[in-house]
Chains A and B, each alone.
Chain A
Amino acid sequence: MITAALLGNPNVGKTTLFNYLTGSNQYIGNWPGVTVEKKEGYIENRVKIVDLPGIYALDTFSNEEKISKEFLEKGNVDVIVNIVDASSLNRNLYLTLQLKQFNKPIVLVLNMMDVANAKGIKINYEKLATKLGVTVIPISASKGIGVEEVKKLLESGNFFSPVNENDYHYTDDEKENYRFIEEVLAEVIVKEKIESTTIGEKIDLIVLNKYLAYPLFLLILYIIFMFTFSWVGQPLSDALDEYIISGIVALLENLLQNSSPWFSSLIIDGIVGGVGSVLVFLPIVMALFLGISFLEDSGYMARAAFIMDKIMRKIGLSGKAFIPFIIGFGCTVPAIMSARTLESEKDRKLTALLVPLMSCNARLPVYALFATIFFPGNESAITFSLYLLGVAIAILIGLLFKNTIFKKDEEPFIIELPEYKVPELRNLMLNTWEKGKGFLKKAGTIIFAMSVIVWFLSNFNFNGMTDMESSFLAHLGGVIAPVFKPMGYGTWQSAVALLTGLMAKEVVVSTMGVVYGLDLHNILAQQFTPIAAYSFLVYVLLYTPCISVIAVMRKEFGNKMMAFSVFYQLLLAWIVSFIVFNVSSLILG
């Protein structure tokens, strides 16, 4: 089997090409740092493609470069597929020259030809191939143009074309290498038109403006929340609840009319009440991630990292840690894992402690449920405020840790701002569907299991079947409930919902769906005041996300860090929730 190493600068379309070649559905982002470990895929069991992390060169010591260099040295590579941004060849070819030292055939894939053409850049491919001693293939990976040619070449195994003789141009002198690149490009590139300012640069003048950057960032996020709650997600969620879940309940009630009341209750209150109460939020989860995927694909997310760098450095982190933070809005587990790419151990630990404060999407159904009941018409603002609160608390805790247990110097951060582009529908749909699929899988497994277990625990005690107030669950909740009393939600039901939420945050909703039954909305409205409801949401935002996060902390950093993170998150959630409840009660009465 032929082994091909796919390599290039960050954000030049490696993963897009990888997906086309191998038929994979790997995550693609229009921002650097998406590929943090190597990934393997196959072309019909004849070619193994290894997608390596994006790197600028091979002479520094970042984790990504170590992974790539080690694979090129020890991975029995037959051919290097070096993908470059055709519109920025002068910078991209530095890595190409360095790759020559491995003495392997190189296929130079000129990606983003559409962008290069739009910029008026014309490249003489044959001349470029001769000058560099590589095989050159122009493509536009995002449009699938030219990809088949790459595939055919790899399948043929005939990489050494007459021009591909491995002439060795690389020297240790950086200036000499760049001079060589300039000489080559002067001969092979013709610029037909030179625009003084591109559209992207014009947009950057606004979105990166020192006064406008932060308000615009907040405005864009707010629009995404409006899209999620007011325009698309919530109306679809309401329709799902009204027509499908209610329809299923009516059907089941009809089917089970001759069954025992306890059996009907197990099916309707336990399973449908539990799973259904979470499932209705599927459109909201998908709408939010459609919005976030749009931002990532458009190229704005890299700008967001750039403008957040100043804040990140203030809390003692390098701007590179922004990537785990963004992943943390999806799920905390991979976010903590992605902290591996950070060079300093202090950065990794501090990032892992702060990332759980980013609101993961499992918390979204809890926010949506409470916001719909207690803050109708203001769902977007309430949810938005919780996300911002998570970020604000992370900044404060970061400052606290930076000046106490993680004293360190600021480190510079270099990020390449990708071209703006109109996001591709296929990529958007793929990313959004992945999230939806994950949510459905969770509903059919752990949420179903927890709903059934919660139903049994809330209907039985040592004497057999009983009323809910005398059940195992009520006793267990009654022991924990006093802890939450100062925040206005000291009922056993809230306590067990928060406890079972440690399995997965959606289970907070499903547990409430089981213990309160199908009349969840009305009962919750009686159990909480709006201030207590918001205070409850603050607790959900800040307390330990789930046991997966506890386990990954242990795996990545050991028992001490795991224990510390759980303790500090529980304490932090209690303190902030307490402050929110009592200060709001004082102000609003």
Chain B
Amino acid sequence: MEIIVAAGIAALAVYIFYRSAKKKTKGDCGCGSCSSHCPIYEEQKKNS
């Protein structure tokens, strides 16, 4: 049971890491701590 839970946690961590890394390497304004400034740039991204 512990192995299954640990494997689940590991899989979730790898998935989150993969998604975050993918988002970060795109150069999008995705950093959580700057969220209030990010929407300013999202608009241009959609339009471009």
Interface string of A447-479 (1 = CB under 8 A from B): 011111100100000000000000000000000
For the complex formed, measure the closest distance between the CB of B3 and the CB atoms of chain A, giving whole angstroms.
9
Please indicate the chain B residues that have their CB under 8 angstroms from the CB of A276 in the complex.
Answer: none
Chain B residue at smallest Cβ distance from A545: B31
Number of interface residues of B (CB under 8 A): 32
What is the distance, in angstroms, from B23's C-beta to the closest C-beta of chain A? 8
**Min CB distance, B6 to chain A, in Å?**
6
Check if A334 sits within 8 Å of B20, measured CB to CB.
no
- Chain A nearest CB from B29 CB (Å) reads 5
**Distance in Å from the Cβ of B26 to the closest Cβ of chain A?**
6
Residues in B neighbouring A504, C-beta threshold 8 A: 31
A449 near B41 (CB under 8 angstroms)?
no
Closest to B34 in A: A331
CA distance A78 to B2 in the complex (A): 63
* Beyond A453-B14, A503-B21, A551-B24, 14 additional pairs, beta carbon < 8 A: A37-B40, A40-B43, A263-B5, A434-B36, A435-B33, A438-B32, A438-B35, A439-B33, A442-B33, A446-B20, A449-B12, A449-B16, A548-B27, A551-B27
> Measured between alpha carbons, how far is A453 from B28 in the docked complex, in Å?
24
Whose C-beta in chain A lies nearest to the C-beta of B37?
A334
Tell me the bound Cα distance from A189 to B39 in angstroms: 39
Chain B residues near A453: list those with CB within 8 A. Answer: 13-14, 17
Verify if A360 is at the interface (C-beta below 8 Å from B). yes
Residues from chain B with a CB closer than 8 A to the CB of A25 are: 36
Main SS of chain A's interface residues? helix
Contact assessment for A446 and B17 in the assembled complex, using a CB-CB cutoff below 8 Å: yes
Q: What is the CA–CA distance of A40 and B21 in the complex, to the nearest angstrom?
A: 29
Please determine whether A449 and B14 come into contact, CB atoms closer than 8 angstroms.
yes
How many residues of chain A are within 8 Å of chain B by beta carbon? 54
Q: Is the CB of B40 within 8 A of A438?
A: no
Cα–Cα distance between A25 and B39 once the two chains are bound (Å): 10
> Which of B24, B30, B39 has the most A CB atoms < 10 Å from its CB?
B24
Specify which chain B residues have a CB less than 8 angstroms from the CB of A555 in the assembled complex. Answer: 26-27
Chain A residues, Cβ within 8 Å of B27: 548, 551-556
Give A493 Cβ to nearest chain B Cβ, in Å: 20
Q: How far is the CB of B11 from chain A (nearest CB, A)?
A: 10
Task: Give A25 to B12 CA distance when docked, in angstroms.
Answer: 31
Q: Does A122 contact B (CB under 8 A)?
A: no
Partner of A548 from the list B2, B5, B30 (CB cut-off 8 Å) is B30
CB of B48, distance to nearest CB on chain A (Å): 11
Is A12 part of the contact surface with B, judged by Cβ < 8 Å?
Answer: no
**Which residues of B sit under 8 angstroms from A39, Cβ to Cβ?**
39-40, 43
Chain A residues contacting B33 (CB-CB under 8 Å) are 285, 330-331, 360-362, 435, 438-439, 442
Q: Are A333 and B21 in contact (CB under 8 A)?
A: no
Residues of A within 8 A of B9 (CB): 266, 271, 452
Inter-chain contact A263/B6, CB cutoff 8 Å: yes
Contacts of B32 in A (CB 8 A): 437-442, 445
Cβ–Cβ contact A547 & B21, under 8 A: yes
Would you call A37 and B41 a contact (CB within 8 A)?
Answer: yes
Shortest Cβ distance from residue A50 to the other chain B in the assembled complex, whole angstroms? 9
What distance in Å separates the Cβ of A4 from its nearest Cβ neighbour in chain B?
16
**Residue in A closest to B9 when the chains form the complex, CB atoms:** A452
Q: How far is the CB of B9 from chain A (nearest CB, A)?
A: 6
Specify which chain B residues have a CB less than 8 angstroms from the CB of A456 in the assembled complex: 10
For A556, list chain B residues within 8 Å (CB). 27
Min CB distance B41 to A, Å, is 5
**Within the assembled complex, what's the spacing in Å between the Cα atoms of A449 and B37?**
25
